[in-house]
Structure 1
Amino acid sequence: MALLSFELPDGSTRQVDVVQVLNAGYAGRSQDDVAAHVAELAELGVPAPSTTPALYPVSAYLAQQTGQVGAQHGRTSGEAEWALVVDRDGELLLTAACDHTDRELEVHGVAWSKNAGPDVLARRAWRLADVEDRLDTLTLRAWVTHDGDELLIQNGTLAELLTPAYWADVLRGRGDLIPGTVLISGTIPMRDGVDQFAGRWRVELGDPATGHVIDLAYDVVPLPVPIG
């Protein structure tokens, strides 16, 4: 299991012993847009899900607060997401996350690719109850760095994605809304013409009403060449 620590706006800290991690997929609010995305991915060889939205359980240790992600090859990349975290007292927290995915493996199975890299989470969080009345206005952005230049690759709002309340209901129905649960939201579109296979990813969850942001960043580090 993983132990995560989140600082809240009042300065208090929440420790979370992660017992399960679930990655939402094809989780756009508009399922017509999702269907179009599924068709685009099919042309790239990525198998279509049996249902949308999808939910992929991954190993609990993949929930990490880290500044470095090891990669076995050059075709792995992140995805800007929000994360719903159930703390020890059952309170729901909201934070920024980046699902680092193996794109080579994705064509063989999305669930496999999700288990091949970590879900990187920020070190700060908000109580979901404190921002729930303005969730759709919260911004979600990601930048990639190439040769020292940082480029915006994702830019949207939470209005584009299914809500934390939607997923909380799904988890509650499964008996999975328990302390130590981490749910990763699914992502928003990437900008055309920006190379996702970058040496650094940065994700920001912003609240325009207060000007507050939660962010994370990590370097993608090639692993040594294997022997054998």
Structure 2
Amino acid sequence: MTALEFEIIGEDTLVSIDVQHLYNAGYAGRDQAAVRHHIEELAELGVPAPTTTPSLYPVSSYLARQSDSVEAQHERTSGEAEWGIVIAGPNADDVLLTVACDHTDRALEVHGVAWSKNAGPDMLGRRAWRLSSLGGRVDDLRLRAWVGQERTLIQDGRVGDLLSPQYWLDVLAERGERHEGVALISGTIPMIPGVDQFADRWEVELLDEQTGESATLSYGVERMPVPIG
């Protein structure tokens, strides 16, 4: 269980939540034909195909973090720009939407996607909207990521490129798992070709261009010492 705290955008409010269950969505693009093409590309790199799409991976709740750094065991780890929902109570207004970044072990990913999801943290922003406050403009929120000290743009899309927060809330409800203490992050949008994802810094932004409000996160990637043995 992990304790997180969110500043609610548009309110003078802080909401604290103990994350008891954490889920990572995968292969969650709204265009599932493009998702299937991406799966074929990954298969050529040795990444095993999922048995169904979209996918949903339960991960250890302690991996939900609000932090300025990630410790990595080797050089082949990278983030993914995502949004996250956190259920902070029983009512519709208690569902929070924030920015997220799934830091994934790419070397382990070729042996099992679910394993790789449990090998790194899910980073979450410190600001969040009440999902109900956004109304119909949720899909229009812009999702971007930059890497390295030079802030090279690596991802740029919209929430609407992915299956919606409501889609996943419905899935959780069907599984009997839509309750306080549950967090879910969305799966990611495509990376810009030619940009090195194995960078020493990641920054992700979820931006409401209509109001100028945003939820952001940034962290450095720190290599752990070489093991003995």
* TM-score, normalised via structure 2 length: 0.97
Deviation, 1:89, is 4.4
Whether the 8 Å contact between 1:23 and 1:57 is mirrored in structure 2 is yes
Alignment of 1:51-62 (within 5 A): 51-62=52-63
> SS of the counterpart of 1:149?
coil
Residue 226 of structure 2: aligned partner: 225
Residue 12 of structure 2: aligned partner: 11
Alignment of 1:148-187 (within 5 A): 148-187=149-188
Deviation, 1:193, is 0.5
Give CA-to-partner distance per residue, 1:178-227, whole Å, 9 cap, x none.
10100000000000010000000000000011011110000000001101
Give 5+ residue unaligned stretches, structure 2: none
**One of 92, 99, 102 as aligned partner of 2:102:** 99
- Percentage identity across aligned positions? 60
Whether the 8 Å contact between 2:86 and 2:181 is mirrored in structure 1 is yes
Distance 1:162 1:44 in 2: 25
Does residue 120 in structure 1 map to residue 123 in structure 2?
yes
Deviation, 1:88, is 3.5
Distance 1:226 1:120 in 2: 25
* TM-score, normalised via structure 1 length: 0.98
Q: Runs of 4+ in structure 1 displaced over 2 angstroms?
A: none
Distance 2:189 2:12 in 1: 30
CA root-mean-square deviation: 0.7
- For these two proteins, the number of residue pairs brought into alignment is 226
Deviation, 1:159, is 1.1
Whether the 8 Å contact between 1:22 and 1:184 is mirrored in structure 2 is yes
Distance 1:136 1:169 in 2: 17
Residue 30 of structure 1: aligned partner: 31
Distance 1:110 1:172 in 2: 24
Distance 1:2 1:166 in 2: 25
